[in-house]
Amino acid sequence: MITREDGRLVVRGRLTIATVPALFEAGLQHLASEDLLVDFSQVEAVDSAAVSMLLGWLRAAQRSQRALRVTGLPDDLLSLAHLYGVAELLPRQSA
């Protein structure tokens, strides 16, 4: 689930192959119109689909000349990104 709170998008729950398609589309809707700070601190679990979603959002932001910042990336997501050799492609985390 994605909610808007205090000028940021907060992602909650599980980011898995079952949930990512809908979350991906919801994020794209927001990226089409504004720069975003996405908070992942409420994410409970991830699989490789979460890495794909984040990279997809980043590509969409770059195409639209929007800034995408993230905060609270789960350690599991970062570990998967390192395992797949794409960690350096992830958006830089904000404090």
| CA dist 80 → 2, 68, 86 (Å) | 22, 20, 9
How far is C-alpha 24 from the chain's CA centre?
A: 8
- Tens digit of each residue's pLDDT (9 = 90 or more) over 49-92: 999 999 999 999 999 898 999 999 999 999 999 999 999 999 87
- Across 71-83, b (16+ Cβ under 10 Å) vs e yields eebbebbeebbee
Domains of the chain (ranges, CATH numbers): 2-89 (3.30.750.24)
- Tens digit of each residue's pLDDT (9 = 90 or more) over 16-53: 999 999 999 998 888 888 888 999 999 999 999 999 99
Strand partners, 4: 9
Query: What gap in Å lies between CA 78 and CA 60, rounded to an integer?
Result: 20
